[in-house]
């Protein structure tokens, strides 16, 4: 119970006070915890997609897209 209270107050983005969460019904605390978890998962998936990490774990070694030059530029 206290872990849920802490998580909602800490990860709730400032939207919850400790006294509000403490007196909140269990079903409502669970609802808010699930919504925060869904939001974080969606946000992480979008971040991974933007950073090109969506293909991690395909067991392939990817080489960089650099064309090597045959001469040295001094």
The answer to whether residue 6 is domain-embedded is: yes
The answer to whether residue 18 is domain-embedded is: yes
Q: Report the C-alpha gap between 53 and 46 in whole angstroms.
A: 10
Structure confidence at residue 5 as a pLDDT band (50, 70, 90): confident
The answer to whether residue 12 is domain-embedded is: yes
In the chain, how many domains are there?
Answer: 1
**Rounded mean pLDDT, 2-18:** 83
The answer to whether residue 15 is domain-embedded is: yes
The answer to whether residue 14 is domain-embedded is: yes
Check residue 70 and give its pLDDT: 67
**Rounded mean pLDDT, 66-73:** 69
* Cα torsion angle, 38, 41, 43, 49, sign: negative
| Segment 18-67, tens digit of pLDDT | 888 899 899 999 998 899 899 989 999 999 888 876 555 667 777 777 77
Q: Is 1 helix (H, G, I), strand (E, B) or coil?
A: coil
The answer to whether residue 20 is domain-embedded is: yes
Q: Report the C-alpha gap between 56 and 19 in whole angstroms.
A: 42
Q: Report the C-alpha gap between 34 and 52 in whole angstroms.
A: 27
Q: Which domain holds residue 9?
A: 2-50
């Amino acid at each position: 119970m206290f872990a849920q209270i802490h998580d909602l107050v800490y990860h709730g983005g400032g939207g919850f006070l400790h006294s509000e969460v403490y007196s909140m019904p269990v079903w409502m605390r669970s609802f808010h915890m699930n919504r925060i978890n869904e939001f974080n998962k969606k946000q992480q998936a979008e971040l991974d997609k933007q950073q090109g990490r969506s293909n991690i774990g395909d067991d392939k070694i990817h080489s960089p897209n650099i064309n090597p030059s045959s001469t040295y530029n001094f």
